[in-house]
Structure 1
Amino acid sequence: MDREASVGQRFTHVYVERGKPVLDSKRMRRRIYQFVMKHYSYGTAIELLHRELGVDIGFSASDLRGFYENSDVKDILDSITIIYWNIFERDSEYPSTNYANEWLFNIGRILKEENVGYVLDKHCGVHYSIDEEFNRARAASIQGIESARYDAVRHEFEKSYLALDAIPPDTKGAVRGSFESVEILFRLICNDTKCQRLGTAEIRTFLKPKFDILYASDTAERNSAGLLLISMENWVSAVHFYRHGQAVETPRPPPIEVCLVMLTQAAAYLRWLAEIDKMLMTLP
């Protein structure tokens, strides 16, 4: 272990195995409550949360504490954002204060230290924390489809990630959105009225010949690209189980770990296909 990196860190943050992030935590709830009390009187906090959440908290400080200790976690997470914007409005009246950023920093620190599976955006919106590599893949894909030509592609791709922010995560919606984004880009590349969908046969019929042209000068590149197209066919087949009706009374959405693999692969195919599209447009 790097002793220099651990200087000044809590013992439990250095030596205790944190395990898999959880979606709720008693310590997280108690610590958030303490920071609420730092910024508000209990009466003001109760009034704000009652008005914005529509929950019946009570009238006393112990009632407010009970709300943070016992309410549904979705209300606790909503309160984080509600309080941020209320503090932000107060800060705007007094330019010398910056309590909103203090709230953002401290709540973000609590979520990280208590190992709960949420992260905050720059305005204290709460989102599921997947992992850094997953988020990097998302950002890289969006960067590759920023031009106006890919507006519809980008819309569906971003919609797939928004589905993951639902409580609970809408994994079926996420998978469907990711597929739609790849399908739209696939049809843009093929540019053929006979190509109306993304399927395994369509990949072989409309996309593979274009790859053979692009990689005609190098056998290794052509063979490698061909195998990657086969993996894309397998991805399409896997996604179809969740795009079409399942032959069961109560269809099951994809489990989160399967959903994340499917979205990660969709992000990779989008980056690749966007580059292919640009290469094809340069051909005579």
Structure 2
Amino acid sequence: MSEKLVFSKFYNTDQTKNEDKPKFRNRILKYLEDFVQIFYPAETNRLCRSELGITIKQENLGRHRNDIKYCVEETFSVSGISISDILDLITIVYDSILPHRDELSDVHKEKFENYINDINRILKEEAMCYVLNDDGRIRYYPDEEFYKSVKSTLALLNLPKYSDNLKLFNEVLGEIYKNPNKESPIHEFFKCLEIFTLSMNNEKKFTILNDSLIDTLLNKIKEKINSDSSYGNHDKEAAENIRGIFSKWVKMCHKYRHGKAEQVNNSVPPELFNLILSMGISIYRYLLEVDNKYSM
């Protein structure tokens, strides 16, 4: 079943700025090395060999045959090891212990039960775009659709003229991954989009993102669309509805922009948080595409 696949087999992966960070690799591998030693390292190694084609290096620590250290960090720190290999390892460690859960001592059982929370804490603190689900599977946060929107937006922002916007957007992504379902990422993303719309419109009378700015900006886009032969009448009519979507998104964000520092860590229901961020990134990507297409 596809939902049981490890990360690299579930996704057709490729590399982006937000997928891989040296500090994350260093931290997660140290955690996994310590974790593997106290459970079933031989089983972890067996699954690594069969699933990844990687053999964990072993070091004999004493005279006894079973007195062996499994060098997880050293094995997964060599050149050629991809971030997806490390993410797969997280699942393999989980899978190597799960069948033996009932055999664990109370201390080890508690440590295993904390595994998912520990991994997710590291993912959040290092601002990675992944989450470890309750079944031990690593997936993109919050879902693949969101990730694809992020990817396509990053691709557009990679143009030299958007270098400042790219830096700001990556900071926003870090906030999203560190503080999911909180008000602060909504604050930061609103600022990010506000800065871009103000620069795109380039009129000094506007200083904030509001309905007046939206109307002015979309009217300029409408002029470009009306002279674009690739737009039919239905396309032009459909584009008119962007105005309402954009305006309603701004109003949603305003519900979380209180201006009080103590409120930035207030919780937002996950389904609403994901909707606001997904809508915002879609709007941002659309504006980037239009700006690039029409040189606005």
Provide, for residues 113-148 of structure 1, a one-character-per-residue CA deviation record: whole Å limited to 9, x for no partner: 989586798x9x684332111111111111121123
* Distance in 1 of aligned mates of 2:160 and 2:172: 19
* Distance in 1 of aligned mates of 2:160 and 2:274: 27
Provide, for residues 11-59 of structure 1, a one-character-per-residue CA deviation record: whole Å limited to 9, x for no partner: xxxxxxxxxxxxxxxxxxxx997623366xxxxxxxxxxxxxxxxxxxx
User: CA 1:101 to 1:158, structure 2 compared with 1: closer, same or farther past 3 Å?
Assistant: closer
Are the aligned partners of 2:181 and 2:270 in contact in 1 as well (CA < 8 Å)? Answer: no
* Distance in 1 of aligned mates of 2:176 and 2:220: 34
Are the aligned partners of 1:156 and 1:181 in contact in 2 as well (CA < 8 Å)? Answer: yes
Q: Which of 215, 221, 224 does residue 225 from structure 2 map onto? A: 215
TM-fit CA distance, 1:87: 4.8
User: CA 1:177 to 1:214, structure 2 compared with 1: closer, same or farther past 3 Å?
Assistant: same
User: CA 1:263 to 1:110, structure 2 compared with 1: closer, same or farther past 3 Å?
Assistant: farther
TM-fit CA distance, 1:276: 1.1
1:178 and 2:192 equivalent? no
User: CA 1:250 to 1:197, structure 2 compared with 1: closer, same or farther past 3 Å?
Assistant: closer
User: CA 1:103 to 1:155, structure 2 compared with 1: closer, same or farther past 3 Å?
Assistant: closer
SS of the residue aligned with 1:165?
helix
Q: Which residue of 2 aligns with 1:108?
A: 91
Query: Which stretch of structure 1 is more off in the superposition, 254-263 or 234-243?
Result: 254-263
Provide, for residues 51-100 of structure 1, a one-character-per-residue CA deviation record: whole Å limited to 9, x for no partner: xxxxxxxxxxxxxxxxxxxxxxxxxxxxxxxxxxx9545777xx7998x9
What TM-score, normalized by structure 2, do the two folds share?
Answer: 0.55
Q: Quick one: which amino acid aligns to residue 235 of structure 1?
A: W
User: CA 1:101 to 1:222, structure 2 compared with 1: closer, same or farther past 3 Å?
Assistant: closer
Q: Which residue of 2 aligns with 1:169?
A: 180
User: CA 1:104 to 1:272, structure 2 compared with 1: closer, same or farther past 3 Å?
Assistant: closer
For structure 2, the residue ranges without an aligned partner over 5 or more in a row are 6-31, 42-70, 99-114, 132-140
Q: Which residue of 1 aligns with 2:209?
A: 198
* Distance in 2 of aligned mates of 1:212 and 1:96: 51
CA RMSD of aligned residues (A): 4.4
User: CA 1:96 to 1:159, structure 2 compared with 1: closer, same or farther past 3 Å?
Assistant: closer
Query: Which stretch of structure 1 is more off in the superposition, 187-196 or 215-224?
Result: 215-224
Q: Which residue of 2 aligns with 1:138?
A: 150
* Distance in 1 of aligned mates of 2:219 and 2:86: 56
SS of the residue aligned with 2:209?
coil
SS of the residue aligned with 2:142?
coil
Provide, for residues 149-184 of structure 1, a one-character-per-residue CA deviation record: whole Å limited to 9, x for no partner: 223322332223222332x63621211222122112
Are the aligned partners of 1:152 and 1:184 in contact in 2 as well (CA < 8 Å)? Answer: no
Q: Which residue of 2 aligns with 1:150?
A: 162
* Distance in 2 of aligned mates of 1:134 and 1:229: 22
* Distance in 1 of aligned mates of 2:195 and 2:186: 14
For structure 1, the residue ranges without an aligned partner over 5 or more in a row are 10-30, 40-85
Q: Which of 266, 269, 276 does residue 262 from structure 1 map onto? A: 276
* Distance in 2 of aligned mates of 1:153 and 1:97: 32
Q: Which residue of 1 aligns with 2:53?
A: none
* Distance in 1 of aligned mates of 2:274 and 2:171: 14
User: CA 1:87 to 1:244, structure 2 compared with 1: closer, same or farther past 3 Å?
Assistant: same
Are the aligned partners of 2:76 and 2:86 in contact in 1 as well (CA < 8 Å)? Answer: no
Q: Which of 244, 247, 262 does residue 233 from structure 1 map onto? A: 247
